[in-house]
Copies of this chain bind each other. A is one copy, B any other.
Amino acid sequence: MPDLSEYRQLARDMSVDAVALVPGPNFTRALGKAFMSHERPFVVVVPAEGQAAAIVPNLELASWGLVGFEGAVFDWRDQTGYDDAFTALAAHIPIRSLAVEGQVMRVFVSAAFTLALPDLRIVDGEREISGLRSIKTDEDIAALQAAIDISERALVRVIADVRVGQTEKQVEQALIQALFAEGAESLAFSPIVAAGDNSARPHGKARNDYQIRTGDALLFDFGARKDGFAADITRTFFVQDVSDEGREVYDTVLRANKIGFEACRPGVTAHDIDDAVTSVLEASPFADRIRTKTGHGLGRDVHEAPYIMRGNHQKILPGMVWTNEPGLYALDSFGVRIEDDVLVTADGCRSLTHFPKELTIIGR
């Protein structure tokens, strides 16, 4: 039986009757297996007192058997629907309040709870539930490091082959193939490969109809997934040549990135780090090009706590991993972002990413 005691304790701490988990990073962590959900409600309910129970789509029962779950299981079939399973669970575990993962649970699942229990108080426990993942174990860090190493090896391969005249889409496809060739189990997210003006879009999509030109900035933001953990790395290169402005912007972003490392040690807050990093950008001639916060936590999810931004006074603690990704974006011109994955240690931090950050010209 998976150990669900942390979630049980969390229900007590949050003064709710139970915590609900749906397929996603917390579910995988708690149950030890990843599941798909699609159109089918699939929920584990961990009460403050007593045994957990689960609502499981019937066709998943064969895989569910591998979990070793010992609580009551209410399965349901597509043909008859899931309402009865929620009603049976509600009768089995009397709950009046339920903490859910607000960023994972979808509205049709919360509606199914409400239909079965019209007076149920549903609380968004995203911060608390996902917060249990903030401090990484040694095993977590090893998986993260593996995902990062795969990603960096893929990037080495890909930049060696970049040539003027290729489309962004061609380079993106080469990156994806390199990631799998290097051992990725899947992609942490749909990678960003953005040249020229597209690099000024923080979430630019690779274009089929844009050919890379001399002087372009070329931004890669990508990551492999390995053993359930996601890498998230950004490097920005220049193709064949770099303008004085490009160089100056790059140097500014790199200084901000370095300040991020210097500002990071146990006891400071997420606010402090973002403030230190963003202050470098604000003091530069490019302050009007700031579009994003410094970064976010990284682990089973690509974006998770702690969010590294002003106003977030969450304490930074040993074992947290966060992305240090300052950037400057000039619309219709170019953007630069440099992103490292940073592990907080007992007395400071260390980078899990090792790819060089000096301004690099590629595509010769």
Contact = CB atoms under 8 A, between A and B. Distances in A.
Given A62-B202, A63-B201, A189 B309 contact: no
Interface residues of A, number: 60
A100 interface: yes
Contacts of A126: 108
B190 A186 contact: yes
Contact of A202 (B33, B59, B310): B59
A309 B78 contact: yes
A291 B107 contact: no
A153 interface: no
A39 interface: yes
Contact of A62 (B36, B58, B59, B331): B331
A350 interface: no
A224 to B, nearest CB: 12
Contacts of A307: 39, 78
Interface string A173-185: 1001100110001
Contact of A107 (B39, B78, B100): B100
Contacts of A274: 79
Contact of A108 (B34, B102, B202): B102
22 contacts: A35-B203, A38-B103, A39-B103, A58-B291, A62-B204, A62-B291, A62-B331, A63-B201, A65-B331, A79-B274, A79-B293, A79-B311, A100-B107, A102-B108, A102-B111, A105-B106, A107-B107, A107-B122, A108-B126, A173-B185, A177-B180, A186-B187
